[in-house]
Amino acid sequence: MAQARGNTRQRIQSVALELFAEQGYEKTSLREIAERLDVTKAALYYHFKTKEDILIGIFQDLTAPMDELIAWAGRQPRTLETKQEILRRYQVNLIAAAPLFRFMQDNHAVVSKLSVGLTFKERMLTLNDLIQEPGSSLTDKARCISAIFTLHAGTFFMANVEGDPEDKRKAVLEVALDLVEQAQKGH
For the CB of residue 36, give the shortest distance to DNA in the complex, in Å.
13
Amino acid code (one letter) for 178? D
Partner from DNA, a second copy, none contacting 158, C-beta within 5 to 8 A by type: a second copy
Kindly report each contact of residues 53-59 with a partner whose C-beta sits within 8 Å and lies 24 or more positions away, as own/partner: 54/12, 54/13, 54/16, 55/16, 55/20, 55/25, 55/114, 55/116, 56/114, 56/115, 56/116, 57/9, 57/13, 58/13, 58/16, 58/17, 58/20, 58/100, 59/100, 59/114, 59/116, 59/120
For the CB of residue 131, give the shortest distance to DNA in the complex, in Å.
37
30-38, 68-76, 82-90, 176-184 -> range binding a second copy (CB under 8 A): 176-184
51 belongs to the binding site for DNA (CB under 7 A): yes
41 belongs to the binding site for DNA (CB under 7 A): yes
72 belongs to the binding site for a second copy (CB under 8 A): no
30 belongs to the binding site for DNA (CB under 7 A): yes
Among 27, 31, 41, 187, binds a second copy (CB under 8 A): 27
- By CB under 8 A, how many residues form the interface with a second copy? 42
46 belongs to the binding site for DNA (CB under 7 A): yes
Kindly report each contact of residues 145-151 with a partner whose C-beta sits within 8 Å and lies 24 or more positions away, as own/partner: 146/179, 147/87, 147/176, 147/177, 147/179, 147/180, 147/183, 148/87, 148/90, 148/124, 148/176, 150/175, 150/176, 150/179, 151/87, 151/90, 151/91, 151/94, 151/176
Among 18, 24, 36, 39, binds DNA (CB under 7 A): 39
Q: What is the DSSP letter of 40?
A: -
Applying CB under 7 A, the residues found at the interface with DNA are 5-6, 8, 28-32, 39-43, 45-47, 49-52
Residues that bind a second copy (CB under 8 A): 21-24, 26-27, 105-110, 125, 137-139, 141-143, 145-146, 149-150, 152-154, 157-158, 160-161, 163, 167-168, 170-172, 174-176, 178-179, 182
